[in-house]
Structures are given as C-alpha cells and as structure tokens.
Structure 1
C-alpha cells in the first residue's frame, strides 16, 4: 500500500474478467491492466485470440535466417497482453460456463467485444451476469452497437472507420478515401477503458453495476463534430486535404536530406502570420516569400500549391534533424517524420523512461516494450509482467480464488472443460 493507505497503482484491487479479443478489446484491457487492474483473460485452445498468432507491429522476421523470430511466433499478444493473466475455459461446455460465472462473482467488471448476442447465447450476457454479481460493470464493444438495424454487421477497424464517415475525409484531394485502420481500434479501445472506469467509480459509490453498450463507429464519428456541423449548417461535404489544414498554411510534409529507404521528410506547421515571418527569417528571407499573396494566411491558403513547392525546394537538401532544431528555436513547429528506429533512439523518450526491458516466458530472453505514456506522481504504473501463456493462471484462479481442489481442476482439464 502507498502513503495514506492508497493502492500502489490507480486500479489496484480491481478485478476484471476479460472476454475481449483482437485489437479493440486488447487495447481496452491493456489500459485496465496498465493502470493496475487484475485482468483475467478467458480464452480457449479451441478458439484462440487472433492476437496470439497475428504478427502485428511487434513481430519481426529474422532476414538473415529466413525464419520468424520468437516474437513472431507469439504474435501481437506480446504487446497487448502485458500485465494480464490467462485462464482457459471451453465455453461450449456448460460446466465451463458455470466456472466463468463463479469468476465473475468475485470480480468487478466484465469486458467483451464480440458481435451482439454471442455471449448471450452462451449464457454469459449482461442480464444473466447481473444476477450473479449485482455490482458488476459490464462493457460490450461492437462495430455498430447492441441495437439498431446494423447491430449484427461484422466490423474491424477499416470497416467501422468507413461506417463512421472518417475514411471519406482521409486521403488526398485527387485520390480515393484511405482506410483509417489501427488508430480506429485504439480510439475505440481507449474510449471503452474510459467509460468503463467511470461506471466502476459509480458502482463503488452506490453498490450498483450497469451495462455499457459502446459502438465503435459512433466513437469515431464523435470525433468529427466540426465536419457534421459544417454539413448541417452550410451543406458542405468536407473534402480530403492530404496533409493540408483548413485554417493553417503552410502545413505539410516536405522532403529533406538524409539516407533512409523510405526517404527523409520533415513536418512543418505554421499557425499564424507571426510564425510565417519566423519561418521566412529562418529561410533567409527569400524574395518570393515577401510577395503580398503570402503575407496573410488567407493568401497562403489560396496559393498552397506554390507555397508547398517553394518550401519543399528549400528543405530538400537540408538535414531534417538539424532543420528541426533551427525552426523550433524560432518558434516554428517542425519535426522529422520518425521511423521506428528514430522513435526507439529518441533522447526525449529515453529521458522519460519510456522503454522497458520485459522478460519473455520460458526463459526466451527479453524484449523492449513501450511503457504506459502517462506519469502519475503518487500511483506509478509500469510493465510488471509479460503477456501470459495460455492458461498460465489456471491454478491461481481456480484453486486460489475459487477454492477448487487441484484434482478436480486436473480432471476438468482432461475432460476438455478447462481447456
């Protein structure tokens, strides 16, 4: 316990039954576990979380050997399973359903992101589990939500991004819509973590739980308020702008010098006429930049093609990191486009202790993971445990939490119930 009897981590003492899978659910429950909650992931060898076999961003290929590394074999769960526990239950078995209910009875929250009705058909829906645990918070996350004509539609990140209207605005003016994938999962998962913790606070205060129905498409649509207002009031459909901003110019990504297979680029954003003058000064006050059409933002917005071309010609033979330092020094927001190796070597992230060496199971060595991006002054959070092997916590949950006999657990394993 920390000073004053408070838990060491913000959600320490909270137990969550985690039926989630893939990225939306995986990221939501990662937020819970990173904040200190005990997340008990329920999975089955008959139906593995796709994250266990998905290569993801964390997976790597050993090009010298032509073989996939240990991280590839374990999959994306290495990242999204941090600080979690895992038990195995074959939910096709009635006895497994009863065991799941017993775990729920000693927990505070349930999270799931199946299509609406999947867990209800298994006997693990909200209406059943609220009777098991009246103080339970139960969050369901799905593409379109738990009711309405689209409730049964399948959906992953690219699908509910398209459903939300987000993808129609993403891309270049002369090109097709661009699928907005991974951030869609993260946005919905983070929203799920946020609202479920709010419901948990209420449950702790009142003793009464509740069900949360979160629609992933609505989460993304809620970020487009200005676009909907513009359409409602003015009848304008937002155009795709690429890297440009509706009110700032210049605003874009420009070529720079340096060796990298993806090229080197620098991002520059000028938000006012004062910042424009600072940029002009950093460029050495070229004659073209003094033209009246560039003096104010309205003129720069109307002449962005020429403006971007001119700035790109100026940046093209300069080192992007050195140029960033010069522009930042005069108050212009600028930074190189970072590749993973740039982020990994960032002095800023190093100073904040953003990287952690995490042991892999079975003495497979260690790997480097990004720590939670927040810093609490009184209740610190960290990566305490690597992602679990499937069923790693079976003894802890069934024998220690539920008080079952080891022989009974072993027998249920042999019969395919705990499996």
Structure 2
C-alpha cells in the first residue's frame, strides 16, 4: 500500500478498505455507484471532474435549496464519502498531474466509451507503466472487446441487449425494469472485480484491468433463461407476476393492496393452510405434494382460488402479522412504506447525507461489516472542494504553480 493521503485524519482512513486510494473519473450512476460502495467500505475516493463540465447529475432532481443554493439529492446519494477535485485531462499539464496521482493511487475507475482514455493518452497501458500495481476498472455498455464495444449505451441499452427487457412485464408485451438495473449491476460487479484485483496486486505487486460491461451484467441477472434456452430451445417470455413453474408464487390482491405469496413447498403450504384455517385443503390428497400443486389444472382449479380467497379477506398488515415467520408472505410496499420500514431503519438502510448545506435521506450500503462502514452521516462534495488539499498537500505543488494551473483552466 502506498502512503495514505497526509491531510486525512486517521479516522477518515479507517474501515476494511482504509488506505486504498481511488481515482474516480466516472459520471452519472454506474461508475459513481461503484466508487461509492468502496468509499462506504473505507476507501478514499477522489472524484475527478472537468472544471467546465462536472458530473451532470449535480443537476438531477430531487433538489433542496438551503442558503439559496440548489443541491441535488440524486448526486448526494451516489457520491457520498468522496473528495472532489477538478482537472482537465485533455491539457498536457492535466495529464501529467493525473499520472502523478496514479503513481500514488491503487485504483482508477472510469466509465467512458471504450477508446476515450486511449485518445487522451491515458489508457491502461500508460497508467500501468507509471504504476504496475494500479487496478484499472472500466465500466461500459458493451465492454472493451467484441464488435459492439464502441457503441454508445445507457441503462436501457443494457436491459434491451442483455435480454431482461424481453423477459419482464405482462404477458402481452415486454417492459423495462423500473430502475437503472444495467447501471447498478455493472457498478456492483465492478466493485467485486476491483476487490479481487486489489487482493492479487497486494500479493504480487501487479495490477490488472477490470473490464465490466452493462450488457454482460444484465445477462448474469437473467436467472435460468440462458440455460433453459441452450438446453431446451425455449425462449423465456414475460410471465407477469407469476413464476414459470413454481406455484403458488406471485402477486395476490388483499383488502388494501397486494402481497407476494410464496408458500409453494410442502412445509410452507401446510403452514398456510393451518394459518388460514383451511383444514379441508390441508388434508386434500389432490394438493398434497408440490408436484401436484405445480400442475396447471390443479393449480387453476384448487390452489390459486384458495390463495386468492385467503388474501382477499385481510389487509396487508393483517396478513403480515398472521404469517410472521411461518411461511413467505410479504406486503408489496410502496417506497413510502419502504422508507418507513422499522426493519430497514434498524439496518441503516436509510442514512443522512449532507450536500451543499442540505441533508438528504438516501439508501444505505447493503454490505454490513461487523467492523463498521462509513455511509452513516456521510457528505457529498461540492465541485473542486478538495483541490488545495490534493494538489498542494498530497501532490506537493507550489502555491505559484497551483495558481498558474487554475488561471490556465487546467484545474
């Protein structure tokens, strides 16, 4: 490990990844999310933005205005626990400064279209020559190899090209998953790759490139669709709220909304029958086994009507209280109910983040370590707020050179 940043307190460099320095060149969601995950786990992430073209999500809603300055909750959520500097990588002086940082860092993360860093003269080979142990993570729509590698991509591109869009939705037509799963999954897979590459770099002194594609990431989330097709030739199509072969397992209406009902195993089915006082069905030999209940005729004639009847008599809260830990039944919650969920709050999945004098409540980090993580009470950086600390204190620029670079627009 290189020497930690001298201007950071020892507390700021604690955690499972304490001392790991990340140069975060990323924008929007996939890359910032990856760097955020690692920063929550203790890494020092330095967000690097062009002085005249910062991350556009600084202007994404929702907004709060405190002290007359609009602050983006979207940006705060994905850029907490980061330092921020400005740097023009197209300027020769900017390239030189970046390489000076690479020499002392452990990880570089970028989510440009493949070829962009090479055109800047800052591709992996160049960075590796300066620091052989550097871990270079590149997140892109289609990856850095293959005939589609240079194509532009968004989250919906990945959902379409990875097959998820064709599988999701109602039976009549496919539907995009209602969150940026292509971005988020790529960020998570990149974080895993970075951790693996860091471990090897610590052992061997040699870093490597982590190449993560949004399309690849979506394909890896398609459950059994790939092996079903390669084995049987069957193409997975939208199945609505049900499951292609597990029954009963899906969405059911109740008095005030919907619940997920998943009591499909023999043990859980018996528990459900007892919970709802349906002794006749509990002892019915025609639905006694899971294989029997999976048969479409029996399911439509006996199983599905019974579950609809059970759920339709109660509210979501009543059903949740009745079932407890006896079998899987979960209210389908709106985000308002999720935010109010005491279980999630106890697990620190709703945390405050400060940005531009505003405090936002955002999602926490799902990785819980007994040694602790850093997302609770974190802050997101203003544009270039750490320029002096990074350039003067860490890189050791003289005040005269620093002022000159600012005047030239390099910083």
Whether these two folds match at TM > 0.5 is yes
Give me the whole-angstrom Cα distance separating, in 2, the residues matched to 1:226 and 1:338. Answer: 26
Partner of 1:64: none
Aligned equivalent of 2:319, options 288, 309, 323:
323
Partner of 1:41: 47
Give me the whole-angstrom Cα distance separating, in 2, the residues matched to 1:165 and 1:382. Answer: 33
Residue 44 of structure 1: how far off its partner (Å): 1.6
Give me the whole-angstrom Cα distance separating, in 2, the residues matched to 1:408 and 1:372. Answer: 40
Q: 1:86-105 counterparts in 2 under 5 A? A: 86-105=84-103
Aligned equivalent of 1:211, options 209, 212, 216:
209
CA change 1:71–1:346 in 2 (3 A) is farther
Residue 175 of structure 1: how far off its partner (Å): 2.5
Instruction: Give per-residue Cα distances to partners, 1:106-134, cap 9 Å, x unaligned.
Output: 11110111110011111111111111111
Residue 75 of structure 1: how far off its partner (Å): 4.7
CA change 1:70–1:296 in 2 (3 A) is farther
- State whether structure 2 residue 346 is matched by structure 1 residue 351: yes
Instruction: Tell me if structure 2 keeps the 8 A contact 1:136–1:210.
Output: yes
Residue 72 of structure 1: how far off its partner (Å): 6.8
Residue segments in structure 2 that go unaligned for 5+ positions in a row: 5-12
Partner of 1:312: 308
Residue segments in structure 1 that go unaligned for 5+ positions in a row: 2-6, 62-66, 259-263
Residue 179 of structure 1: how far off its partner (Å): 4.4
Q: Secondary structure at the match of 1:152?
A: coil
Q: Secondary structure at the match of 1:224?
A: coil
For these two proteins, the number of residue pairs brought into alignment is 397
Give me the whole-angstrom Cα distance separating, in 1, the residues matched to 2:120 and 2:90. Answer: 8
Indicate the larger mover: 344-353 or 392-401.
344-353
Aligned equivalent of 1:199, options 182, 192, 197:
197
Partner of 1:249: 247
Residue 291 of structure 1: how far off its partner (Å): 6.0
Give me the whole-angstrom Cα distance separating, in 1, the residues matched to 2:117 and 2:300. Answer: 54
Give me the whole-angstrom Cα distance separating, in 1, the residues matched to 2:254 and 2:207. Answer: 55
Q: Secondary structure at the match of 2:29?
A: helix
Instruction: Give per-residue Cα distances to partners, 1:318-338, cap 9 Å, x unaligned.
Output: 220121121225x21011112
Q: Secondary structure at the match of 2:166?
A: helix
Instruction: Tell me if structure 1 keeps the 8 A contact 2:247–2:264.
Output: yes
CA change 1:136–1:273 in 2 (3 A) is same
Indicate the RMSD between aligned Cα atoms, in angstroms.
2.6
Give me the whole-angstrom Cα distance separating, in 1, the residues matched to 2:32 and 2:314. Answer: 41
Aligned equivalent of 1:18, options 24, 33, 54:
24
- State whether structure 2 residue 227 is matched by structure 1 residue 232: no
Partner of 1:122: 120
Partner of 1:268: 261
Aligned equivalent of 1:112, options 110, 113, 122:
110
Give me the whole-angstrom Cα distance separating, in 2, the residues matched to 1:148 and 1:177. Answer: 27
Partner of 2:8: none
Partner of 2:408: 415
Q: 1:124-143 counterparts in 2 under 5 A? A: 124-143=122-141
Q: Secondary structure at the match of 1:76?
A: helix
Residue 180 of structure 1: how far off its partner (Å): 6.0
